[in-house]
Amino acid sequence: MIGRRVVVTGLSALTPLGNDLESSWSALINGESGIAPITRFDCSDYQTQIAGEVRDFDPLQYISRKDKQRMDRFNIYAVACSQMLLENAGLEISEENGNQTGILLGCGLGGLETLEEFHTRLLNRGPRKVSPFYIPKLISNIAPGQIAIYTRAKGPNLVTTSACASGVHSIGYAFSDLKLGRVESMICGGVESTITPMGVSGFNAMQALSTRNEDPENASRPFDKDRDGFVLSEGCGLLLLETLDSAQARGAPIYAEVCGFGASADAYHITAPDESGEGMGQAMNMAMKEAEVDPQDVDHINAHGTSTYFNDISETRAIKNVFGEHAYNIPITANKSMIGHMLGAAGGAESVFSVMSLSRDKIPGTINLENPDTECDLDFVSEGSRDRQINYVLCNSFGFGGTNACILFKRFQE
């Protein structure tokens, strides 16, 4: 692997399972579901009435009341999670290191809630009632911008928008910047909050969402024959990546090392994955090639696992094509069975959980996998969480437009 070594020194999560890293991880390991009826708006006329909402979250622990009025929900989640991240990493950003700390955040749709609010206001009350904060609340890159304002990180500041692969793309390109020596640390991951009338109705129009409204906890069922679509959810998952030299110089905790990243395109369809899994497999191979790792060395995969028919089959085929017979020896988990699909935040949260698996020697299970699809016949951990020392974990994320991203983490060794 050419370039400087890059390690993970901080983690944070805000998910339907919990309002911080430890509560989210504990619920995941215990096989709890974060899916429940939607409370944010009246969805009685909608095909889908369930989602993975962040619950009982108090933004005033992290931002002022005035700022709360000026931020979309996804911005609030990002700022809160960044504060939790820096505390977890023991990093204080100062005038001395601020220019060497960047932010690269994944976000798929941005401020959909704000867009709907002000579009309604425009139609009902006219253009003079549209707030000057409308655009700054809406656009995706305001999330890393707000993090910078709160943390004083003055390095590169931008957003990756690649649908459901946004989070892993952000981590991968942050990794690349650090390897090249452009900065010493990067806040990266993903954030999203699109449980709104337009969000739900839009995915319903595509017939993408589960309609298992009477049984929400069992609605997200990746790789199960009875799956009927993904479950929309929200939240944030962030990692602090640092060069090894920087981390060691300040005596930082080191959770894992980032060793490989791969990105590709299916060049196939605007929403459906290539059923052969070729593009997905290419991204996995790229990550292992950069890390100079043989497929047989990978001992855990955190799957994209959306609980949609074509994605689950395509991902299974891709894993078989890449790993051959070894594919049957790899424990695979699908976090979305419990947290739902966080869209642009999915890869961030799932990368956080992948690193936690490495550092805690624990593989979360995949719930609701009761009747496996005959084409999905790998070791999708379904008997509860599994104790196992892991040396390499591959985290997959694939998005609309046929965009694929994979990040490879390894157990840290001096």
User: Would you tell me the crossing angle of helices 166-179 and 346-360 to the nearest 10 degrees?
Assistant: 60
Selected from 1.20.930.40, 3.40.47.10, 3.90.1150.10, 3.40.50.720, the CATH number assigned to the domain covering 6-249 reads 3.40.47.10
Chain center to CA of 280: 17
* pLDDT number for residue 3: 86
Contact (CB, 8 A) for 325 and 374 = no
pLDDT in tens, 73-121: 999 999 999 999 999 999 999 999 999 999 999 999 999 999 999 999 9
Is residue 341 annotated as part of the catalytic site, yes or no?
Answer: yes
In 24-137 the beta strands, taken as DSSP E runs, fall at 36-37, 50-51, 101-106
Alpha-carbon distances, residue 200 vs 81, 112, 215, 307, 340 (angstroms): 25, 11, 18, 16, 14
* pLDDT number for residue 1: 54
Six-digit token string for 316: 């299974």
Closest CA to 234 of 114, 75, 90: 75
Q: Quote the mean pLDDT of the chain.
A: 97
The segments of the chain whose pLDDT lies below 50 read none
Alpha-carbon distances, residue 96 vs 10, 152, 155, 268 (angstroms): 20, 11, 12, 47
Per the residue annotation, which of 43, 107, 188, 341 is the catalytic one?
341
304 CB neighbour count, 10 Å cutoff: 32
State how far the Cα of 47 lies from the Cα of 369, in Å rounded to an integer: 23
* pLDDT number for residue 414: 82
Between CA 290 and CA 295, with CA 292 as vertex, the angle to 5 degrees is 105
Selected from 1.10.10.60, 3.40.50.920, 3.90.1580.10, 3.40.47.10, the CATH number assigned to the domain covering 259-410 reads 3.40.47.10
Per the residue annotation, which of 304, 376, 395, 406 is the catalytic one?
304
Is residue 326 annotated as part of the catalytic site, yes or no?
Answer: no
- Same fold yes or no, 6-249 and 259-410: yes
Is residue 164 annotated as part of the catalytic site, yes or no?
Answer: yes
Burial label for 408, CB within 10 Å (0-12, 13-18, 19+), is: buried
Q: Where are the domains of the chain?
A: 6-249, 259-410
Per the residue annotation, which of 164, 236, 395, 406 is the catalytic one?
164
Indicate the residue type of 229.
G
For tokens 């040396």, the residue is 391
Q: Which helix (H) or strand (E) holds 405?
A: strand 403-410
